[in-house]
Amino acid sequence: MKTKTFRYGIHPEERKELSKDKPVVPIEAGEFVRIPLSQHIGAPAEAVVKAGDKVKAGSLVGKAGAIVSANVFSSVSGEVAAIESGETVSGGKCLHVVIKNDFEYSEERLEPLGSPTRENIIGRAREAGIVGMGGAAFPFDVKLSVKNPIQTLLINGSECEPYITADYRLMMDNAEGIVRGVELVAKALNAADTVIGVESNKRDAYEALKKAAGGGIRVELLKTKYPQGGEKQLIYALTRKKVPAGKLPGDIGCIVTNCQTAYALHEAVDFGKPLYERVVTVSGLAVARPGNYFVKTGMTFEELADAAGIRSQYVKAVQGGPMMGISMHSLKPSVTKSSGALLLLTEEEIRGIEPTPCINCARCASVCPMSLMPMKTDALILKDKVVEAKAYHPELCIECGCCAFVCPAKRPLVQSQRLAKKLIKNSGAR
């Protein structure tokens, strides 16, 4: 069967075999959960509880603090112990609602919606605190409220990062729920066409979704290639449309969302369940029992590592995939709504980090899915030539890491693109 794809990109070792066939199992929360009030893009949620308050799993503990923000819910039942500052995955700080678990797991739900209108669906996405679960954590109600007419809704089932299999398991085990969620998203957007894209290394998930969709929604097979799940790359692969520089997918009549987000919308609309737990892959050669775990937000990554077991020394801990994930210096931060994976990687799994001078081989440019010339930006930024670097458009870089992956000199090309973006912005050269 012919697969669809984008130009350039890379084929990193997949390592999905470590966890893909492991069924999702829950990890029980410990005595405390620490729920961050900032788990999304935009303003932090504002605490609506105080120490001593009783809560249930699904009780609102933080209310969206602005239009671009999201409600936050307790993931266990118990008593609020404190509201205090805590460390986030990226090394910053934000307020956390600390809840002492009573281990009773009594639940609070919203009223399920029978036959929801477009407005009902968008309102429920906001009430239930749904954010993009593919990593972006953008408030979903804001995305659904796009003004432009939408021709194509694209559902990202590619899960192109190595190791991660959380979406794959959800597609295999809950294809009907995902399809129902996709129908709700399509209704909210009044989309003329809906298509789910699944990479060819997940053919069984593709078949499961195709069966569940029953012809009502297109399901397409994508070539297994990184970064197939990048928003612009997915749009090009499935529609042959290009998102112009400086524009958003909505500007060309497309919206992309992740399959786990669609599933969360189904649960919020049909069962009244707010978003406070999710599937997380715990993997890497240092993990004793790599697999897919059902995890409550507010649990620490340390608890995940303990549950999955550590069999050998790891040299790097990553939240998310090895290409675009965030390296963590500590496992103390809490799992959030957008935490798709915890990877504990050994020496043999990570590249050496000692860079050597560029040998002008142009391999970085040959794989860049945005057709950039990363070696030029890298060289100019090293010499502090910010204005000259602007000519190579680092602002278009999606930070996918393909260039750094293939670079024989191990140049820190993503960091130099990031730095160039920042310096150009600060200097007003944009």
What does R_g of the chain's alpha carbons equal in angstroms? 21
Q: Does 359 bind ligand SF4 (CB under 6 A)?
A: yes
Q: Which listed residue (299, 317, 413, 423) binds ligand SF4 by CB under 6 A?
A: 413
Of residues 25 and 359, the one with the C-beta less far from ligand SF4: 359
* Region 369-388 residues binding ligand SF4, contact defined as CB under 6 A: 369-370, 372, 374-375, 378
Q: Does 411 bind ligand SF4 (CB under 6 A)?
A: yes
The single residue among 343, 364, 381, 423 that binds ligand SF4, judged by CB under 6 A, is 364
**Which range in 70-78, 273-281, 304-312, 355-363 contacts ligand SF4 by CB under 6 A?**
355-363
In the 8-state DSSP scheme, what is residue 16?
G
Closer CB to ligand SF4, 169 or 393, in the complex? 393
Cα torsion 41, 24, 33, 125: sign = positive
The verdict on whether omega for the bond into residue 112 sits within 30 degrees of 0, i.e. cis, is no
Q: Does 397 bind ligand SF4 (CB under 6 A)?
A: yes
Q: Which is nearer to ligand SF4, 167 or 378 (CB)?
A: 378
Which residue number, 288 or 359, has a Cβ lying nearer to ligand SF4? 359
Q: Does 278 bind ligand SF4 (CB under 6 A)?
A: no
Smallest distance, ligand SF4 to C-beta of residue 9, A: 9
Stretch near ligand SF4 under the rule CB under 6 A, chosen from 65-73, 240-248, 288-296, 411-419: 411-419
Residue 246 dihedral angles phi and psi, to the nearest 5°: 80, 0
Piece of 11-19, 34-42, 47-55, 399-407 that binds ligand SF4 (CB under 6 A): 399-407
Residue 121 CB coordination number (10 Å): 22
**Is the CB of residue 331 less than 8 Å from the CB of residue 302?**
yes
Question: Applying CB under 6 A, does 398 fall inside the site for ligand SF4?
Answer: yes
What would the two tokens of residue 292 be? 């897919």
Kindly state the smallest distance separating residue 368's Cβ from ligand SF4, in Å: 3
User: According to the binding rule CB under 6 A, does residue 403 interact with ligand SF4?
Assistant: yes
Helix (H) or strand (E) run with residue 84 in it? strand 78-87
Report, in Å, the least distance between residue 391 CB and ligand SF4: 14
Tell me if the bond preceding 227 is cis, omega within 30° of 0.
yes
Q: For the residues of 268-296, what is the DSSP string, one character each? A: HHHH---S-EEEEEEESTTBSS-EEEEEE
Rounding to the nearest 10 degrees, give the CA dihedral for residues 257, 270, 124, 258. Answer: -10
Of 129, 291, 298, 401, the residue at the interface with ligand SF4 (CB under 6 A) is 401
360 binds ligand SF4 (CB under 6 A): yes
Is residue 407 at the binding interface for ligand SF4, with CB under 6 A as the rule? Answer: yes
Are residues 289 and 308 in contact, defined by beta-carbon separation less than 8 angstroms? yes
Nearer to ligand SF4, 375 or 381 (CB): 375
Nearer to ligand SF4 (CB atom), residue 115 or residue 360:
360
Q: Distance between CA 232 and CA 396 in Å, rounded?
A: 11
* 182 vs 403 by CB, closer to ligand SF4: 403
380 phi and psi, to 5 degrees?
A: -70, -40
Query: Taking CB under 6 A as the rule, does residue 417 contact ligand SF4?
Result: yes
Backbone phi, then psi, for 217, in 5-degree steps?
-125, 135
Among 91, 216, 309, 408, binds ligand SF4 (CB under 6 A): 408
Q: What is the 3-state secondary structure (H, E, C) of 138-158?
A: CEHHHHHCCCCCCCEEEEEEC
For the bound state, the minimum distance from the C-beta of residue 239 to ligand SF4, rounded and expressed in Å, comes to 20
Paired strand residues for 256: 154
Considering the complex, what minimum distance in angstroms separates the CB of residue 3 from ligand SF4? 21
Cα–Cα distance, 336 to 36 (Å, whole number): 7
414 lies in the binding site for ligand SF4 (CB under 6 A): yes
Residue with tokens 């920042």: 422
Stretch that binds ligand SF4, among 160-168, 201-209, 275-283, 402-410 (CB under 6 A): 402-410
How many residues sit in the footprint of ligand SF4 (CB under 6 A)? 28
The two tokens of residue 202 are: 């997940």
Minimum CB–partner distance for residue 335 and ligand SF4 (Å)? 26
Q: How far apart are CA 53 and CA 121, in angstroms?
A: 30
CA–CA distance, 57 with 203 (Å, rounded to integer): 36
Q: Describe the strand order of the beta sheet including 32-36 as a list of residue ranges.
A: 32-36, 93-101, 78-87, 54-55
Contact status, residue 351 vs residue 322, Cβ threshold 8 Å = no
Nearer Cβ to ligand SF4 (176/399) = 399
Binding footprint of ligand SF4 on the chain (CB under 6 A): 358-364, 368-370, 372, 374-375, 378, 397-403, 407-409, 411, 413-414, 417
